[in-house]
Amino acid sequence: MLDSKKLRKETELVIQNLSRRGFNFDFKKWENLELQRKELQAFNENQQSKLNDISKEIGLAKKESNDTSKLQKEASMLTAEIKNQTKQLDQLLMQINEFVMSLPNLIDTDVPDGKDETENLEIRKCGSPKEFDFTPKDHLELGENRGIDMEAGVKITGSRFKVLRNDIAHLQRALLNLMIDTHVSEHGYEEVYVPYIVNEDSLLGTGQLPKFEEDLFKLEGKNNFYLTSTAEVPVTNLFRDEILDSEILPVKYVCHTPCFRSEAGSYGKDTRGIMRLHQFEKVELVQAVESSDSDDALEELTGHAEAILRKLDLPYRVVSLCSGDIGFSSAKTYDLEVWVPSQSSYREISSCSNFRDFQARRMKARWRSKQDKRTELINTLNGSGLALSRTVLAILENFQEADGSITVPDALRDYLGKDRILST
RNA sequence: GGAGAGGUGGCUGAGUGGUUGAAAGCGCUCCCCUGCUAAGGGAGUAUAGGGUAAUCCCCUAUCGAGGGUUCGAAUCCCUCCCUCUCCGCCA
C-alpha cells in the first residue's frame, strides 16, 4: 500500500512512476474521494466531539438530580445525524480502501524500463553452460520411470501434480537440507516452520489479495482460508501488527514450505515435466530491515540465494526485472535464472524482491528505536533460496552423463550419501 | 464434537452504564537524593486517523472482531474468532 500523504504531496511523481509499469493511476478519482472523505470525516468528528461534551454534561447533571430532558433531546438529534454521516463515511472509506489496495508499489529508479520479460536486464552471468559431447536429455527423459512419476500424480490428484521416488525424492530432500543449513549457519537466518494454510488478512498483507485471487487455491468453508502460494505469506505475516525493537533488526528467516498455485492462465506453458506444477517445494528467505538498510539487504539476500547455485556448480544469470514485468508489491526484483540445457536457455529459479514499506504498511509492521520513541514501518524483502523442483530439474539436466546417470555435485554428496544417482 | 470459564495497556491485574485511554502493582525512561551496581522521592511511559510543516498542541477512534440498545458502553444484548479446564475422538 502506498502512503496516502505521499499520494497527495508528490502526485506527479507517483503518476509517473506507476505509468512506467503501464499502470494508469486515476488521480482525479482518488483526489475526489479523498476530498470528500476529509470533509466528511472532519465534520463527523466535530459532531462527535460535541456529542461527547453533551453526554458528559448529562452525566454531571444527573448526579445532581437536575433535569436533563432538554439536553437529551439535543443529544438524540446529534446522534441520529452522526449515525447517518457515519454510514456515508464508511462507504467512502471502503471505496478509498479498495482503490488504494489495488495500487501497485512504486518502482526504484534503477529498475529498467520495458514492457515484458523480454526486456529484463541481465546484470551478470556466473558459470558457463557445460558443453556436452552427446545430445543432453531433458529432465523427464532422464527421470521417467526412475523417480519422476507424472502419471501417479495425475492419478492421485490431476494434471500438474507429480510423484517423486527413490533417488530423486532423496535428491530433493538433500537439496532442502543443504539450502536450509547453508542459510542458517553461513548466512545467519533463523529457521521457522509455519502453517501452509493462511487467512485473508495474511494474503492482503503481502499483496496476493485482493487482486490475484485466481492464482490461489481457496478452501471450502466460512473461514476464507487459502493454501499458501509461497512461504512469503505466512513468514512475512509474522511481522503483522507488531512493533519490533530496533536492536533485533535485521530479522532474517528461512523457511521451507510447499507452494500451491492454481497456475490459472498458464495453460499450455511448461506442460512437460516438473517445471510448472500446482504444488512444489521452496525454501524462502525473508528479511525485515530498517528502510535505510533495504538497498543493501536486497543485494545481500540475492547473494544468499546465489550462494546455493554456486555451491551446486549450476550456471546461472541474474536479471533485473523491467518495469513491465516486476511484481505488484515489489519496488525492485532480481530473478536468478538457472541454465536448462534441454531448452538452451536460462529459467527462473529464484526471485528476490525489495518491497520497501509497501507490505509493512498493509500489515502495520513497524519498529521502534530506543532513542526517539517514534515508530517507523519496517522494510520487507524476500527471495527464493531456492525453488526445489526446479533445482532438481537443473541438477538432473546439468549433471547428466552420456549413460543417463547423474553426477552428484560435491556439496550434495554428504547429504545424499552417494556421488552418482540413476546409474541403473 | 460436548460441557464450563475467560479474552482489558510491555506484563500482572482492577473495573457491571456517566469527566475511564482506562485504578494499582511490576517493568522501562528521565530527574532528585544517597560516599560505594541497595533503598527512597518526583515526573513520564499505547497505537492509528484528522487538524498541521511539525515527533509540541487540539480533535476523533481503539478494553478479541463485527453489529445492536442508550444522550452516553470496557461495562447490557446478539453473532463470530481465539484461549484455558474437563469429557469424547485422534497423529
The tens digit of pLDDT for each residue in A330-339 reads 999 999 999 9
Instruction: Name the more confident of A210 and A274.
Output: A274
In terms of domains, do A85 and A145 share one? no
Neighbours of A217 (CB within 10 A): 15
A307-321, A367-381, A384-398, A409-423: which range is least confident on average? Answer: A367-381
In terms of domains, do A348 and A204 share one? yes
Per-residue pLDDT at A21: 95
Which pLDDT band holds residue A133 (cuts at 50, 70, 90)?
Answer: very high
Are the C-beta atoms of A106 and A3 separated by less than 8 Å? no
Mean pLDDT (whole number) for A204-233: 91
Alpha-carbon torsion, ordered A272, A118, A206, A258, to 10 deg: 20
- What's the CA–C1' distance between A83 and B69, in Å? 14
Query: Considering A69, A101, A133, which residue would you say is the last residue of a domain?
Result: A101
In terms of domains, do A94 and A208 share one? no
Per-residue pLDDT at A66: 82
Q: Rounded CA gap, A195 and A293, in Å?
A: 29
Percent of chain A topping pLDDT 90? 75
Structural domain span for residue A58: 26-101
Q: What does strand B contact on the protein, if contact means CB under 7 A?
A: A 4-5, 38, 41-42, 45-46, 48-49, 51-56, 58-60, 62-63, 72, 75-76, 78-79, 222-223, 243, 364, 366, 368, 372-375
The closest alpha carbon to A106, from A204, A249, A1, belongs to A1
All three cell numbers of A63, joined, read 448526579
Query: Considering A36, A68, A101, which residue would you say is the last residue of a domain?
Result: A101
In terms of domains, do A166 and A274 share one? yes
Per-residue pLDDT at A404: 95
ipTM: 0.87
Instruction: Name the more confident of A259 and A11.
Output: A259
- From the list A261, A361, A362, A366, the catalytic residue is A261
3-class DSSP state for residue A105? coil
Closest nucleotide C1' to the C-alpha of A241: B47
In terms of domains, do A167 and A266 share one? yes
Are the C-beta atoms of A183 and A215 separated by less than 8 Å? no
Per-residue pLDDT at A60: 87
Q: Is residue A237 part of a domain?
A: yes
Per-residue pLDDT at A264: 84
Mean pLDDT (whole number) for A292-307: 97
- From the list A229, A351, A353, A389, the catalytic residue is A351
Catalytic residue at A348? yes
Per-residue pLDDT at A288: 95
Mean pLDDT of chain A: 93
All three cell numbers of A190, joined, read 533463523
pLDDT digits (tens, 9 = 90+) for A354-403: 999 999 999 999 998 776 678 899 999 999 999 999 999 999 999 999 99
Q: State yes or no: pLDDT of A186 exceeds 90.
A: yes
Mean pLDDT (whole number) for A344-359: 96
Which pLDDT band holds residue A11 (cuts at 50, 70, 90)?
Answer: confident
Closest nucleotide C1' to the C-alpha of A373: B55
Per-residue pLDDT at A369: 76
Of these ranges, A74-88, A259-273, A320-334, the one predicted with the greatest mean pLDDT is A320-334
Are the C-beta atoms of A308 and A277 separated by less than 8 Å? no
Closest nucleotide C1' to the C-alpha of A41: B50
Q: Rounded CA gap, A244 and A48, in Å?
A: 34
- Please give the single-letter amino acid code of residue A243: I
In terms of domains, do A287 and A352 share one? yes
Catalytic residue at A351? yes
To 5 degrees, how large is the angle CA A223–CA A224–CA A229?
A: 130
Q: Rounded CA gap, A390 and A324, in Å?
A: 24
Which pLDDT band holds residue A293 (cuts at 50, 70, 90)?
Answer: very high
CA distances from residue A331 to A104, A106, A319, A334 in whole angstroms, order as listed? 9, 6, 15, 11
Residue A301 is part of a domain; what is its CATH number? 3.30.930.10
Q: Rounded CA gap, A49 and A199, in Å?
A: 37
Q: Is residue A209 part of a domain?
A: yes
Listed as ranges, the nucleotides of chain B within 7 A of a protein C-beta are 18-19, 47-51, 55, 59-61, 71-72, 81
In terms of domains, do A150 and A76 share one? no
In terms of domains, do A43 and A125 share one? no
Which pLDDT band holds residue A152 (cuts at 50, 70, 90)?
Answer: very high
Closest nucleotide C1' to the C-alpha of A37: B50
Q: Domains in chain A: how many in total? A: 2
A25-34, A307-316, A343-352: which range is least confident on average? Answer: A25-34
pLDDT digits (tens, 9 = 90+) for A69-126: 888 999 999 999 998 888 888 888 888 988 988 999 999 999 999 999 999 999 999 9
- From the list A284, A323, A390, A397, the catalytic residue is A390
A399: left (phi over 0), alpha (psi -120 to 50) or beta: alpha
Catalytic residue at A124? no
In terms of domains, do A284 and A230 share one? yes
Neighbours of A262 (CB within 10 A): 16
All three cell numbers of A206, joined, read 503481502
To 5 degrees, how large is the angle CA A23–CA A24–CA A29?
A: 135
In terms of domains, do A304 and A354 share one? yes
Mean pLDDT (whole number) for A3-26: 90
pLDDT digits (tens, 9 = 90+) for A35-56: 899 899 999 999 999 999 999 9
Per-residue pLDDT at A125: 97
Percent of chain A topping pLDDT 70? 100
